[in-house]
Structure 1
């Protein structure tokens, strides 16, 4: 008994504290994309893109607060899957969970490929080694994950702090240099020829929003946090607020230093930082970008298998998927998740799926926002840490924003989403349809 108590104590100590969870959330959102973001968003509106970024940050926070409230009802892994299951039942929960797990595996494969590209840019001697580098990364991270959360946690937090050094340094320098660059903010709105303001704002907002995606990861690994009912909501709100401030400073600093020259470079943040502090700035950002995407892969390696394991723990996937080793790691889910990611990399077909995975995250946001209202109604006396203000207004706005973002990217995503639901529903029926038939038979026999 004492040995079991010590093991439980060790596992609890291995979990993320509030500060560790906040860093994990920041790591899940900030990838290498931020280093390329300024050029892409400047293109449509010029300096006015910074105002769209502020608006998009507010929209993201609307979604994040929905996750923050419903996370307060739970102390286990699963995120949107758990919320949907509790609010709307097994069938809806399985659909959200099954599609969510598939989406995260596609995203991890894409991030592993992104790591290889960034590694080759930094170290050109490895040109042509894209697939071996990607697969090696997935295998190493899976082995690290099997070694237990303590090992994964140390590496993830270290990578997050390392990648934040150039980002925070750039943001701090922006405060001192932005005054000299104010002329680059005029005229404020610079539309491309042949475009209208509404269309430019919409396109820029969709692109910026992708830079914020990932905040929901914290809720998926809630069971790996200490005191999750309290700490997960706080970590979600803390991490998305910090990321929003950093993004605004990076965009503002890059515009201040380069102006329209952003469009003439493939490395806008590096060039802007070099103007601020000299050649060391470009080097810091380049290394930061590589560390950034490495950290993102570490975070995915923790989250992806635990999503699958959470579905199994609720009895909706084979129980073996949730089987843990002595270190508390879901070994079967880790192996399956890593193997599928490797197959996607070898097939070469994951790129289009990765694009879909970004958009399909909205299909996790919508049921979570709806679950806010359902759980409030079903469990009015629940003692949750955080409640979204203004009643149902923000959850409904979050649903509307998600639908608009899906439509704004490509209306065909709704058709693809419907196909995904049909596949997930078919899997659910094949695995669990007989249980319902048995239950109906038992009820009929009882009534007779």
Structure 2
């Protein structure tokens, strides 16, 4: 077996030209700016941002190939400032000796720390080399502004099922780099199973195919249902990185589905995250947050149900806890919505920070000692339970010198309808008290 055939299938089938590249038509269709720049060999610094297996590294290689530039890679994890300086020196020598440009490729560029970024930034600016970074993380959070401002960000998308079927067909028919010479068969339905299991990731697809071919019985020439089920049984969870872009996007989708009173969508995102390996207790905490932020006093039972679900998850684990959380999510999605407490809390926080250390009025202070009573602590305080309807009409509870504020404005939904009615009655009593005074 040749050395080339010893390489993994995904590496052997790496596209060699733009014509062989599958997917990313929004960037690489003929006439698109990036397609024309690559085809014309026009280099500029770029960042490729997208999920795993979407062709970021391959695309960087194609850029270098079409520009006839030297392709050099650095590891964001293993390379320090010294290695960067060595590559800078080599790039300068190469340019001076042969006039050949250098393309420096950094995979997982989000792992580059500030000193690493600062070390090669001047050499990007002076044209010593062209920089291309690849990342699965949002570059606006992970890279410094100076590097971002000098690079064009291209967003790569997960491959579609049709894209993956095209990759699969190439692997099965290519006689030199794939399995065309072996004539491995796979019917249309099974091909779609593999494409769906790959979840937009061409590398994952080719790895699954390679495992399947390796497991074929001697003399067998087709991947059948039994073998496919065996290989795909551990086909892997959906794309979910537990701390990066997908994590926060899916948490956001869950929260907004509940807020939007969409129980079915809320359940879908909940199950997507469980399937991706999220910590169920993290979800439990988020559900409690949703209950307070978006349901609030419109239905206070929502918070109780969310806390109960958290308790079930801690006590019983999976699957009982997950079912309890699903119950809480459906209830919260169907419950009347109010963010009145959340808005009131944020407004009160802002005032507390802005107003400084205003003194507590004397009549609201506690007076446990004789000295405090001599200093009028608690003097003229009206004990609400001794007042009609247990309400001291007209009493002032804000600091002296601070006008009363209204932070909490109940919404006309759920229990807050009745809360609003009560607050309106109390306000009327305050106004009557002021007029009487």
TM-score scaled to structure 2, two decimals? 0.22
Higher relative contact order (CA 8 A, sep 6+): 1
Larger radius of gyration: 2
In terms of fraction of residues, the more helix-rich structure is 1
TM-score scaled to structure 1, two decimals? 0.22
